[in-house]
Amino acid sequence: MDIQTTLNKKRSASPAKKLIAITVLSLILLSLWAFSSVATNPRIDKSTLRIATVSAGALNVRVDGYGKLRAKYQRLLTSQTQGIVETIELYPGAKVTSDTIILTLSNAQLEQDVATARLELARQNAQFNEQIIAHKSQLLERDAQIALLNSELENARLRLEAETQLVGKGIVSTLDYKRSQLTVKQLKQRLAIERTRHSQLKEMQQQRIKIQRDLISQFELNFQTIARRFSQLKVRAGLNGVLQTLRVEIGQSVSPGTELAMVGSDQQLVAQLRVQQRLADQINIGMAATISTFGTTVAAKVIRIDPIVTDGRVIIELDLTGPLPANARPDLTVEGSIEVKQIANTLLVNQPSDAYGFSTKDIFTLTPDGKTAQLTSTGRKLRNKSK
């Protein structure tokens, strides 16, 4: 009797379980349908999207790179003579002009050579001045002798003129008259000889002066050479710019040709960009470019393409044609962009931050009502800095 009652209870519970199972199955199917519907048409808050407008125009294809500024003009300072570094006035980073002293060398022997050469030159100049005075004295003696002969000749002529009038009257003997004629003749000869000697003496003096001046020029050249070497012990920058490197220390002994320092211009700079090798093939000399330093853009143009490839990149050198910012200096890190070509009639859109050159990127286009976005494949795109 109890067994029968239990069986009847189990049979009466079976329809309820079936109803529960059907309800659960319906919920599962409904959930799957809802999930499928959401997956097919996902929804997203429009304010979280980045929306850009597509425009039409010319596309400037650019090749980007990074690098540093370099001094357009550099000067390597080397030792011109043997010496010891005595003082260092400036260190790398200091502003310099062409006459700025960077360091000083000492050389006792060279200092002695300068003093000796200076004394020898002074001695030669003194001898030259003494010679000039002696020459003037000799010429004055010759001038005095010529003046004396002129006076004697004039007296002899006057005497001869008087005797010429008296000899015919017998007042003056013929012998005295002929002696007077002979005296005039001899004085004329002596005067001519003296004038010749005067002229020859003057020519010889001029030759001696020329020889002495040539000798002094040699001593001056020797002194200037030694003095220039001595002045080069004070190492000057040689151009306006900045001291880039210093390669010696105080007390260091240097020989001729030793590298001392490097100076570079700080207002005349060039940019050296490192560009990927596969992109460098598109670049030609003369192409327009721009570089940017901390938000400042400077116009430039390509002036050199390095033929050597290093780590898959090529160095492109740019001449900066625009005004430089105040912070521009050698070794400053910069970014650059070179315009390689222009494509007309192109659809342009701002480039997403996660898009890279020669890559495929999918974007969505909005319907006119702005409520629905449709997936569009952009395909392979060239990278452009702003488009």
3 state SS for 127-164: HHHHHHHHHHHHHHHHHHHHHHHHHHHHHHHHHHHHHH
User: Which candidate, 333, 331, 318, 381, places its Cα nearest to that of 354?
Assistant: 381
How confident is the model at residue 50, as a pLDDT? Answer: 72
For the cut 80, the answer to whether the pLDDT of residue 8 exceeds it is no
Average pLDDT over residues 21-29: 64
The DSSP bridge pattern shows strands 101-106 and 83-88 to be antiparallel
Q: Are residues 249 and 279 in the same domain?
A: no
Tokens coding 113: 């050579």
Average pLDDT over residues 64-90: 94
List CB contacts of 220: < 8 A, sequence separation 6 or more: 121
For the cut 70, the answer to whether the pLDDT of residue 302 exceeds it is yes
Q: Which amino acid is at 192?
A: A
Between 67-76, 160-169, 213-222, the lowest mean confidence (pLDDT) is in 160-169
In this prediction, residue 2 has a pLDDT band, given cuts at 50, 70 and 90, of very low
Q: How far apart are the first and last CA of the chain?
A: 90
CATH number at residue 339: 2.40.30.170
Q: 10 Å Cβ neighbour count for 271? A: 26
| Within-domain flag for 209 | yes
pTM of the model: 0.59
Please, are residues 276 and 312 in contact by the beta-carbon 8 Å criterion? Answer: yes
How confident is the model at residue 117, as a pLDDT? Answer: 95
Q: Tell me what the pLDDT averaged over the chain comes to.
A: 83
Which neighbouring-strand residues pair with 335?
A: 66, 292
In this prediction, residue 5 has a pLDDT band, given cuts at 50, 70 and 90, of very low
Between 93-107, 116-130, 154-168, the lowest mean confidence (pLDDT) is in 154-168
How confident is the model at residue 320, as a pLDDT? Answer: 92
Residue scoring higher pLDDT (369 or 214) = 214
For the cut 60, the answer to whether the pLDDT of residue 116 exceeds it is yes
Number of domains in the chain: 3
For the cut 60, the answer to whether the pLDDT of residue 216 exceeds it is yes
Tokens coding 281: 């093939």
Report pLDDT digits (tens) over 178-197. 888 898 899 999 999 999 99
Q: Are residues 57 and 158 in the same domain?
A: no
Alpha carbons within 13 A on the beta-carbon side of 171? 6
List CB contacts of 177: < 8 A, sequence separation 6 or more: 160, 163, 164, 167
Tokens coding 90: 């400036």
| Within-domain flag for 141 | yes
Between 157-166, 202-211, 260-269, the lowest mean confidence (pLDDT) is in 157-166
DSSP 46: G
| Within-domain flag for 206 | yes
Q: Are residues 174 and 122 in the same domain?
A: yes
Q: Are residues 324 and 367 in the same domain?
A: yes
In this prediction, residue 387 has a pLDDT band, given cuts at 50, 70 and 90, of very low
Whole domain around residue 88: which residue ranges? 78-104+235-262
| Within-domain flag for 2 | no
Average pLDDT over residues 126-141: 91
CATH number at residue 255: 2.40.50.100
Please give the C-alpha separations between residue 110 and each of 121, 198, 226, 235, 283, in angstroms, as whole numbers.
Answer: 16, 47, 7, 15, 54
Q: Are residues 249 and 151 in the same domain?
A: no
User: Which candidate, 184, 202, 180, 181, places its Cα nearest to that of 192?
Assistant: 184
Phi, psi of 323 (to 5 degrees): -65, 140
Residue scoring higher pLDDT (171 or 348) = 171
Average pLDDT over residues 378-386: 46
From 231, 252, 276, give the residue that closes a domain.
231
In this prediction, residue 31 has a pLDDT band, given cuts at 50, 70 and 90, of low
In this prediction, residue 355 has a pLDDT band, given cuts at 50, 70 and 90, of low
318: exposed, middle or buried (Cβ count in 10 Å: 0-12, 13-18, 19+): buried
From 209, 243, 262, give the residue that closes a domain.
262
Between 103-112, 292-301, 375-384, the lowest mean confidence (pLDDT) is in 375-384
Q: Are residues 257 and 272 in the same domain?
A: no
| Within-domain flag for 334 | yes
Q: What percent of the chain has pLDDT over 90?
A: 49
d(CA 71, CA 216): 44
Q: Are residues 210 and 358 in the same domain?
A: no
How confident is the model at residue 163, as a pLDDT? Answer: 81
How confident is the model at residue 230, as a pLDDT? Answer: 94
| Within-domain flag for 127 | yes
Q: 10 Å Cβ neighbour count for 298? A: 22
| Within-domain flag for 311 | yes
How confident is the model at residue 293, as a pLDDT? Answer: 82
How confident is the model at residue 56, as a pLDDT? Answer: 77
For the cut 50, the answer to whether the pLDDT of residue 319 exceeds it is yes
Phi, psi of 216 (to 5 degrees): -65, -40
Q: Are residues 193 and 247 in the same domain?
A: no
The DSSP bridge pattern shows strands 373-381 and 83-88 to be unpaired
Biggest distance spanned by C-alpha atoms of the chain: 221
How confident is the model at residue 361, as a pLDDT? Answer: 66
User: Which candidate, 324, 323, 305, places its Cα nearest to that of 315?
Assistant: 305
Q: Are residues 336 and 373 in the same domain?
A: yes
| Within-domain flag for 21 | no
Q: What angle, rounded to 10 degrees, do the helices at 174-231 and 108-167 form? A: 170
Q: Are residues 98 and 199 in the same domain?
A: no
d(CA 123, CA 344): 83
